[in-house]
Amino acid sequence: MNSFHVVGAGLAGLAAAVRLVRNGAKRVTLYEAGRQAGGRCRSFFDSVLNRTIDNGNHLMLSGNQAIASYLEEMDGDEFVETAERARYQFADVRTRESWSIELGEGAFPSWMLKRSWLPPGATVKDALNLARGLAFKGDATVRETFGACGHLYEKLVEPLATAVLNTPPESGAAKLLRAMFNKTILRGGRHCRAVLCPRGLGPSLVDPALHWLRSNGASIRLNSRLAGIDSSASSVSLLKFSSNPVKVSPRDVVVLAIPPSSCRDVLPDFREIDAFEAIVNVHFRLGATPSRLPLPRMLGLIGGVAQWVFARRDILSVTVSAARSLVNESAADIAARTWADVQAGLGVDRELPRFRVIKERRATISQTPAMEELRPRQETMFRNLILAGDWVQTGLPATIEGAVWSCQKAAQLAMRS
């Protein structure tokens, strides 16, 4: 009987293991280098805030089909909440102006000329320029493709592109943003409703999958760091873990769902990916009276350092993507700057609360047109080894949707081997 070895228990590895078991695989083992599964989607207790917080913030949309199928496969739909409407609130921290954008239910372009989705100052001409950019099929950057969209670029396209690509718009690949638009925004509001995790990412996306896998016969091995791989002819023959080596037969399949830097350490002739982008997350504990603040569950900020704000009970979390220029600043300075933006966006004046700053220096690959050409295929030189993760060739941005999609495809390839 074939054995299936999934290395890496981030969301990608979890999705691969779940899909394998769902597809009938009987001997599935999931390995994780750390003490905790979840990768960048993990939750943990923070002693400074005295609260359980997420490592970072990840916005999911109702049109994210890979995530939707992952939730369904591991019986996790009950752990997320989907907004009733595709309505998003924004504020400009420079002018204190605030507005909301709501997408119509029909597919593009039925709602394109409606004012409900256009931010202040945006014109019909801006919307038409957006349509032209979406029709362009070249390898240009986001700014080159959509820069003529005026206020629509500044107040919608640019913040979306920065969040989705985690790369500055002047260098981010427009075709990746276009892929996201095609699967969500261009299909209308039904595909753009926010999918939120009220209990946190770990309790919503990770813990239910671990429970489901264990309940369905999969083996999970934490504290198992892959140190190397031995091969025989064209197949992987041994996984050299820090604890115990694992023999692999030519009929077994290995799904390698680990970061590219880790692949470089274990795979011969691996073409190194050396361009990454940072993300900075700041978690604030609001104290005893968070209800007195005008807190939407999610708020986009324009014109400052802070970009997106997520509120859950008395924790307010700020995300700064493409944060290469910010990541080297001190935690105290980052907290002060982002809190100033939060106050401006909410129109309040409150002292800096307790905070926790989390820096991810290599959060994602740099998603430029040049880097897009370097993303590897999932099939490798070994017939029983498949790569997976948000950084492989998917045609999608390096988000959790792309990560889950790649691992579901990896599971399909594995079952055919």
Q: Which residues pair with 246 in a beta bridge?
A: 239
Question: Averaged over 197-211, what is the pLDDT?
Answer: 96
Same domain, 354 and 283: yes
Same domain, 378 and 264: yes
**What's the half-sphere exposure (Cβ side, CA atoms, 13 Å) at 308?**
25
Q: Tell whether 86 is covered by a domain.
A: no
Same domain, 164 and 233: no
What pLDDT, on a 0 to 100 scale, did the predictor assign at position 344? Answer: 95
What pLDDT, on a 0 to 100 scale, did the predictor assign at position 7? Answer: 98
pLDDT of 95 > 70? The answer is: yes
Residue 261's domain comprises: 4-78+198-274+369-416
Looking at 161, 192, 223, which one is the last position of a domain?
A: 192
Compute the distance between CA of residue 369 and CA of residue 161 in angstroms, rounded to an integer: 14
Same domain, 377 and 255: yes
Same domain, 389 and 401: yes
- Report the share of the chain in percent with pLDDT over 90: 80
pLDDT, one tens digit per residue, over 388-412 is 999 999 999 999 999 999 999 999 9
- Going by the DSSP 8-state scheme, the letter that residue 119 receives in this structure is P
Same domain, 263 and 383: yes
Q: Tell whether 46 is covered by a domain.
A: yes
What pLDDT, on a 0 to 100 scale, did the predictor assign at position 289? Answer: 58
**Considering the entire predicted model, what is its pTM?**
0.93
Q: Tell whether 90 is covered by a domain.
A: no
The tally of domains found in the chain comes to: 3
In the structure, what pLDDT confidence band is assigned to residue 356 with cuts at 50, 70 and 90?
Answer: very high
Q: Tell whether 71 is covered by a domain.
A: yes
pLDDT of 296 > 90? The answer is: no
- Report the share of the chain in percent with pLDDT over 70: 96
Q: What's the CATH code of the domain at 357? A: 3.90.660.20
Cβ burial of 37 (10 Å; 0-12, 13-18, 19+) is: buried
Q: Are 204 and 76 in contact (CB under 8 A)?
A: yes
Question: Averaged over 69-90, what is the pLDDT?
Answer: 94
Same domain, 44 and 112: no
Same domain, 247 and 285: no
pLDDT of 367 > 70? The answer is: yes
pLDDT of 360 > 90? The answer is: yes
Q: Are 346 and 354 in contact (CB under 8 A)?
A: no
Looking at 159, 192, 225, which one is the last position of a domain?
A: 192
Q: Tell whether 188 is covered by a domain.
A: yes
Q: Tell whether 94 is covered by a domain.
A: no
pLDDT, one tens digit per residue, over 109-142 is 666 667 777 899 998 899 889 989 988 888 899 9
What pLDDT, on a 0 to 100 scale, did the predictor assign at position 89? Answer: 95
- Going by the DSSP 8-state scheme, the letter that residue 107 receives in this structure is P
Q: Are 408 and 15 in contact (CB under 8 A)?
A: yes
Same domain, 314 and 207: no
pLDDT, one tens digit per residue, over 259-291 is 998 998 898 778 878 899 999 999 999 976 555
Summary mean pLDDT of the chain = 92
What pLDDT, on a 0 to 100 scale, did the predictor assign at position 1? Answer: 64
Q: Tell whether 267 is covered by a domain.
A: yes
Q: Tell whether 231 is covered by a domain.
A: yes
Same domain, 255 and 319: no
Looking at 325, 348, 365, which one is the last position of a domain?
A: 365
What pLDDT, on a 0 to 100 scale, did the predictor assign at position 114? Answer: 72
Question: Averaged over 192-206, what is the pLDDT?
Answer: 95
Q: What's the CATH code of the domain at 270? A: 3.50.50.60
Structure tokens at 145: 């493709």
Same domain, 378 and 313: no
Same domain, 112 and 178: yes
What pLDDT, on a 0 to 100 scale, did the predictor assign at position 274? Answer: 84
pLDDT, one tens digit per residue, over 231-265 is 988 999 999 998 889 999 999 999 999 999 899 88
Helix (H) or strand (E) holding 151: helix 151-152
pLDDT, one tens digit per residue, over 143-190 is 999 999 999 999 999 999 999 999 999 999 999 999 999 999 889 899
